[in-house]
Amino acid sequence: MSTAPHIVIDSGIPYISGVFESCGARVSYLAGREICRAALSDASAVVVRTRTRCDAALLEGTPVTIVATATAGTDHIDIQYCASHGIRVASAPGCNADGVKQYVLTALYAFARRKGINLRGLTMGVIGVGQVGSRVADLASALGFRVLRNDPPRAIRESTFESVPLEQVLAESDIVTLHIPLWEENIGFASGDFFGRMKQGSIFINAARGEVVDENALILARSNLSGLILDVWAGEPLINKQLLNIADIATPHIAGYSAQGKINGTIAVVRAVADHFGIDQLKDFSLPLASRPLALDASMSQQAITEALLGRYDIWADDTALRCAPGSFEALRTNYSYRIDF
């Protein structure tokens, strides 16, 4: 590293404070929504989360040469702009996949206990079978669910992957869970036609992105669903109060907020920035693990599985916190106590 870089970092990223300073870098910490072009006037790198939109409005005229996001998704980054201006983009694919897996199954079993639903032998449709969806599908299969996997883009990339047609997934699934990325063509993916094709009395789960669902269509379809579990919302941090009131479980976009997920994200961005600037001391940066194994399989009773999951993660506490203070959506995320995943 010939010249010490100036790195602007979202202050909400955990476990990163002091890391680059120890190698001589100059670091500025700002809340994600406060990172602006002026703050990057002499910065060579910016490390963000989803709350910072990285596009021409932010980056034009700055000396930034790398944008690193401690998140799995990159929908908050204008990839094309960065590529055309020689700005490297780094992310952390799969960093929070186990946390979201834990969230989805915990939410499902917690809801089933409260409503007296027997989950044994039900069919789960997983739409989007990437890093997150594949783990949700695998665990659900291990717990005895019949799993239908839908991911046409993956089927194109991988000849061995079979994507079940969406129409079949919606018609046959007792539980439908979304795990698709927020690409432009996916905005409003789950619309009136989508919900109209779902099996009567099924359960709908969205822990992907709020914008992939047409919320007005979901509200209209609610009476045909036996369960509604939402972690993500269009227009965050301002959320649809009507939708909040009709959801069975509602949380403030924290499905992936496990300690290990955050550790994985931080490791990824530190290594990427270190590689970019030739900071040899940090190219193999690591942090202690923050996850514990949990034995779950189809031989266990539903009660035993539910108790094991809720023993690790009290999802009702997150649901109550959001319902009591929906206007504090961002604060609930910022001050969240990261759970231990498995």
Give the active site residues: 209, 236, 253
Are the beta carbons of 147 and 179 closer than 8 angstroms? no
d(CA 148, CA 336): 33
CA 40, CA 291: separation in Å to the nearest integer?
A: 35
Measured distance CA(212)–CA(207) in Å, rounded: 10
Q: Give the helix, strand, coil percentages of the chain, each rounded to 5.
A: 40, 15, 40
Q: Are 267 and 246 in contact, with CB atoms under 8 Å apart? A: no
> How far is Cα 89 from Cα 77, in angstroms, rounded to an integer?
8
Q: Which of 259, 257, 252 is nearest to 233 (CA)?
A: 252
